[in-house]
Amino acid sequence: MSKPTIVPCPQCKQEVVWSKDSPFRPFCSKQCQMIDFGEWADEENSIPGAPDMSDSDGWSENDY
Ligand SMILES: [Zn+2]
């Protein structure tokens, strides 16, 4: 009875049928879903690398 809902894939703009046959909706495929996921995951990974300022106390110069 009801028409299938078609949504454009946010990544590649391909038409995706909004149904249980499209497990990655609104994305057309897992690939497009992962691309989107990777974009925001990128920000999570950009943790400012605090340089480890551990001084070299454990070694001394061996003066021959
Ligand atoms: Zn897509």
Tell me, in angstroms, the distance from the centre of ligand 1 to residue 23's CA.
Answer: 12
Tell me, in angstroms, the distance from the centre of ligand 1 to residue 17's CA.
Answer: 12
Least confident range of 24-28, 35-39, 41-45, 56-60: 41-45
Residue 23: is its pLDDT beyond 90?
yes
Residue 57: is its pLDDT beyond 80?
no
**Model confidence, pTM:** 0.56
Cis peptide before 26 (omega within 30 of 0): yes
CA angle 30/32/35 to nearest 5° reads: 110
The owner of tokens 């990544």 is: 11
**Beta carbons of 25 and 18 less than 8 angstroms apart:** yes
> 23: annotated binding-site residue?
no
Tell me, in angstroms, the distance from the centre of ligand 1 to residue 33's CA.
Answer: 8
> 32: annotated binding-site residue?
yes
